[in-house]
Amino acid sequence: MLTSEEEKADLLKTFQALDLNGDGQLSRQELIKGFKEVLNIENVEEEVDAIMKQVDKNSNGTLDYSEFVMATINKESLFNKKRLETLFKLFD
């Protein structure tokens, strides 16, 4: 679980920065764009698809904030600490 108010604030800030249209949902395209900006990996789309498959619990094709939070605190999640730190630095 998130342990500090600072971590919670950082997570919300990252979510809001990724949410380009401000609808409170992260679409596949928003995640792809965010990952391309911060990660130097060739298979960004496959990585995002794997994340969506794993954490889009209501299967609506987007991640809401609660799904995003669950992805970050789940140890088996594809949002690992290193990637989140990179995202935090980008949007900080």
- Which among 37, 81, 71, 77 has a CA at the least distance from the CA of 29? 37
User: Taking the model in full, what pTM does it have?
Assistant: 0.73
> Can you tell me the mean pLDDT for 17-29?
95
pLDDT in tens, 34-90: 888 877 778 889 888 988 888 898 899 999 998 888 777 664 445 566 666 666 666
What is residue 86's predicted lDDT score, i.e. its pLDDT? 67
What is residue 10's predicted lDDT score, i.e. its pLDDT? 84
Alpha helix ranges (H) inside the chain: 5-18, 28-38, 44-55, 65-73, 81-91
